[in-house]
Amino acid sequence: MTIDHPNTRTALAAVRQQIRDAETEFSLPADTVRLIAVSKTKPASQILAAIDAGQRDFGENYLDEAIPKIEQLAEKSCRWHFIGNIQSNKTRHVATYFDWAHCIDREKIALRLSRQRPDHLRALNVCIQVNIDNEVNKSGVFDAETLALADQISQLPNLRLRGLMAIPSPGNNFEAQRKPFARMHRLFEQLRRTHPSMDTLSMGMSADMRAAIAEGATMVRVGTAIFGARPQK
């Protein structure tokens, strides 16, 4: 029996409205921005409430909890996005269960994902994670390394390079938030000159979604604003 989660449906509708308002504010066509509902640590029943409200894209970080949910909801035609750090021991499961991987930051991981992608599945959609603020302790490639990694990924038969992903440092205000997203957009446009199939800028979360949309985000990743606060681990 499906457990009712009216708050999830209400919150999802509010986030969708915020996206529509931002698209209008920044003169973007309707449905320019795809919402990824970040469902990590949330039960399948709560995801079902979002599915019943029309949501199809879901983001997960933790394989041990994601895989049972993906299997349970296999008949629901969802698109599953892995948005966590991808270690070598995770690549087979990411390649098997997910439609997208957003955090590619080195060739070794890309090679393993391509080799381990099952033959019956379409190519795995991938984004390169960019460390746009050059933070020492953050994952992602620096600007100058992005083109080389894009060239390497584009040669792999079972991966489809779709774009770039970033999690900038928190900005104190809207204009401060826009600056790293603007740098991401410029880098994205540079790479598209040699990789014209790239069509995705995955950036922006609950606190900075509007700034990301202003600077060209095509995917935003929102969790807490839809599903509520995550339990403390």
What's the CA gap between 208 and 213, in Å, rounded? Answer: 9
Phi first, then psi: what are they for 75, rounded to 5°?
A: -85, 0
Phi first, then psi: what are they for 118, rounded to 5°?
A: -60, 145
Average pLDDT over every residue of 108-133: 97
State residue 1's pLDDT score. Answer: 35
**CATH code for the domain of 172:** 3.20.20.10
What's the CA gap between 106 and 101, in Å, rounded? Answer: 13
Residue 184 domain-assigned (yes or no):
yes
Residue 171 domain-assigned (yes or no):
yes
Contact between 81 and 99 under an 8 Å Cβ cutoff? The reply is yes
State residue 27's pLDDT score. Answer: 97
Digit-coded pLDDT (tens) for 36-56: 999 999 999 999 999 999 999
State residue 40's pLDDT score. Answer: 93
Residue 163 domain-assigned (yes or no):
yes
The domain of 94 spans: 6-227
Work out the end-to-end distance of the chain between its first and last CA atoms, rounded to an integer number of angstroms: 28
Digit-coded pLDDT (tens) for 131-151: 999 888 888 999 999 999 999
Q: Which residue has the higher pLDDT, 20 or 233?
A: 20
State residue 232's pLDDT score. Answer: 56
Q: Which of 128, 193, 194, 198 is nearest to 167 (CA)?
A: 128
State residue 2's pLDDT score. Answer: 46
Residue 1 domain-assigned (yes or no):
no
Residue 4, pLDDT > 60, answer: no
Residue 33, pLDDT > 80, answer: yes
Residue by residue, DSSP assigns the chain as -PPP-HHHHHHHHHHHHHHHHHHHHTTPPTT-SEEEEE-TT--HHHHHHHHHTT--EEEE--HHHHHHHHHHTGGG--EEEE-S---GGGHHHHHHH-SEEEEE-SHHHHHHHHHHS-TTSPPEEEEEEB-TT--TTS-SB-HHHHHHHHHHHHT-TTEEEEEEEE-PPPPSSHHHHHHHHHHHHHHHHHHHTT-TT--EEEE--TTTHHHHHHTT-SEEEE-HHHH-PPPP-
State residue 138's pLDDT score. Answer: 87
Work out how many domains the chain is built from and give that number: 1
Residue 113 domain-assigned (yes or no):
yes
Digit-coded pLDDT (tens) for 78-90: 999 999 999 999 9
Residue 233 domain-assigned (yes or no):
no
Residue 68 domain-assigned (yes or no):
yes
Residue 225, pLDDT > 90, answer: yes
Digit-coded pLDDT (tens) for 198-216: 999 999 999 999 999 999 9
Digit-coded pLDDT (tens) for 89-112: 999 999 999 999 999 999 999 999
The per-residue b/e assignment along 100-123, b for 16 or more CB within 10 angstroms, e otherwise, is: bbbbbbbeebbebbbeebeeeeee
Residue 5, pLDDT > 70, answer: no
Average pLDDT over every residue of 27-38: 97
Q: How many CB atoms lie within 10 A of CB 183?
A: 17
